[in-house]
Amino acid sequence: MRKLSASILSAKFGKLAEEVRAVEAGGTDWIHVDVMDGHFVPNITIGPDVVRAINEATALPLDVHLMIEKPERYLEAFVKAGADWLGVHVEVCPHLHRTVQHIKELGARATVVINPGTPLVSIEPILSDVDMILLMTVNPGFGGQQFIRSMLSKVRQCRRMIDALQAQALLEVDGGVNLDTIDDLVAAGVDVFVAGSAVFKGDNYAANIRGLKARMR
Ligand code: DX5
Ligand code: ZN
């Protein structure tokens, strides 16, 4: 069963709780929350207090994507704030296996995220230990960027790696997911689709979500 994770990076931050409730009513499966520190990525977004507020606004699972340096310092704060899935970038985790174990011990599902320029071999050793692999299909930092088409073969390769190991990890993609790109991603074997601008464009979020989900069947 494929899932849609609506990225609130493209929501109107002045009325975030309302926006979250609107995409929940519109049929998204999860809420994707982008945490940026201005160091690992150029942009700065939100911290645990805002994640807690989002968690209070919705019953949906929170899919939290940490784009921060030294994420191991903040795991507990984000799980306490309500992260159901907590994702760390392989590029900033020298002790990745330990970090993954720590997320699980805290009671959340562990996601490992990799940038477009980072090879899949960097996640191969932990594939059987993680709950989800998130492949970035844009360079992280901003919503509304163009999908990097050369990532499709990386997605297919990652699907093959997961299946070959009979690992339980879900395969998620993030960046440039919209009606022009989703069919190829479905065919490549993606389980979870993050979409920001494709969900929060215009004022009929439910119609945007219905359009995406119709392609995910
Ligand atoms: C980018 C973020 C994404 C972003 C995706 O760094 O990780 O989650 O919101 O936005 P779209 O779907 O507009 O490409
Ligand atoms: Zn994200």
Q: Residue 73 — φ and ψ, nearest 5°?
A: -70, -20
The per-residue pLDDT of the chain, averaged, comes to: 98
Domains: count for the chain: 1
- With a 6 A CB cut-off, is 113 part of the ligand 1 pocket? no
Determine the pLDDT at residue 103.
98
Amino acid at 115: N
Three-state DSSP at 104 gives helix
Q: How far is the CA of 144 from the centre of ligand 1 (A)?
A: 7
Mean pLDDT value across residues 18-36: 98
Determine the pLDDT at residue 73.
98
Tens-digit pLDDT profile for residues 50-91: 999 999 999 999 999 999 999 999 999 999 999 999 999 999
Q: What is the DSSP string of 3-54?
A: EEEEEGGGS-GGGHHHHHHHHHHHT-SEEEEEEEBSSSSS-B---HHHHHHH
Structure tokens belonging to residue 168: 């339980």
Confidence class for position 114, pLDDT limits 50, 70, 90: very high
Closest atom of ligand 1 relative to the 196 alpha carbon:
12
Determine the pLDDT at residue 102.
98
Angstrom CA distances, 111 to 46, 64, 175, 180, 197, stand at 19, 9, 16, 26, 22
CATH at 10: 3.20.20.70
Domain extent at residue 198: 3-216
Beta strands 85-89 and 109-114 are: parallel
Confidence (pTM): 0.98
Cβ atoms of 7 and 194 within 8 Å: the answer is yes
